[in-house]
Amino acid sequence: MYEAVLPFPRIDPVLIHIWGPFGIRWYALSYMAGLLLGWWYIVRLLRDKSLWRNPPFNGKPPATLDDIGDFVVWATLGVIVGGRLGWVLFYGTFLCGISPGAAYCKLPDGGTLPGDFLIHPWRIAAAWEGGMSFHGGAIGVILAMWLFARHRKLDVLRFADLVVCAEPIGQFFGRIANFINGELWGKPSSVPWAMVFPADPTHLPRHPSQLYEAGMEGLLMFVIMLIALRVFRLHERPGLLGAVFLTGYGVFRFIGEIFREPDTPFIGWFSLGMAFSIPMWIGAALLYWHALRPRPQWPANL
């Protein structure tokens, strides 16, 4: 027998209602907080001269403060465009094509995905109706980093190692926003902290999996990256921090999917979110191989 012990805090997803469908939403604020705090954190890292005194940096950080300020714009576009297109392709098209009966495949006006993308192409960009993919956003940011590094003639791996140290900040705020919105809830559970989410048609007590993911993918991942950077100084092997991040996020997302209600059936208990961890681990393996190869002796002065 299920019994909810903790009430779900009914927080309006719209912080400030402006007019009609327009307003300031917690979800949008979470993106802004993640990007701005990430920018602030990277600036602090760049100003810490002790991080860059050893080879291969020899006192020269991998980017300037101006580079990071400009990259925020590129990263914002990567997150928004990549996150939305990722959701359209992975969930709205692929998963809805497999299981068109899933709840989010049915639109309020009676349309269904993915067919409605052809009838109303504007819906591809309609992120305000819901639908952003972390993995799509990650691809967008990776592409933005690569293009930005080439444009500014920066070492892309050293630059990426900086960015991944700040990514858990945005991940934390994003998952908190998912919780406020009462979306992406967990599987039915009888744990004392189970909650009934208002939008859940079954009204069953469920794991607050958004909070689990905020803790693992956000707080714990931030601590791991901080220790890897400051204690083990893994940034001195370019690409190694990126490998640690891909490994850790892949593991934590896989664990989170155990408690999270799947968006739609994929392969039995194996969800699409779990499947997306596999290419992350493959990417991590390639970065480990690259970063841990025997390297030449760095000259004392470059």
Provide the token pair at 44.
């602090």
Q: Phi then psi for 206, rounded to 5 degrees?
A: -135, 160
Q: Are 283 and 246 in contact (CB under 8 A)?
A: yes
Per-residue pLDDT of the chain (302 residues; tens, 9 = 90+): 555 568 888 787 777 777 766 677 788 899 899 999 999 999 999 999 999 999 999 999 999 999 999 999 999 999 999 999 999 999 888 888 877 777 778 877 777 888 888 888 888 887 766 688 999 999 999 999 999 999 999 999 999 999 999 999 999 999 999 999 999 999 999 999 999 999 898 999 999 999 999 999 999 999 999 999 999 999 999 999 999 999 999 999 999 999 999 876 678 889 989 999 999 999 999 999 999 998 766 554 44
> Can you tell me the distance from the alpha carbon of 172 to that of 166, in angstroms, rounded to the nearest whole number?
11
Provide the token pair at 33.
């907080």
> Can you tell me the distance from the alpha carbon of 226 to that of 93, in angstroms, rounded to the nearest whole number?
37
Count Cβ atoms below 10 Å from residue 148 Cβ, excluding itself. Answer: 22
> Can you tell me the distance from the alpha carbon of 3 to that of 256, in angstroms, rounded to the nearest whole number?
22
Question: What's the whole-model pTM score?
Answer: 0.91
Alpha carbon separation from 220 to 41, 49, 210 (Å, rounded) = 16, 26, 14
> Can you tell me the distance from the alpha carbon of 182 to that of 12, in angstroms, rounded to the nearest whole number?
10
Bridge partner residues of 19 (DSSP): 22
| For helices 156-181 and 134-152, angle between their N-to-C axes, nearest 10 degrees | 150
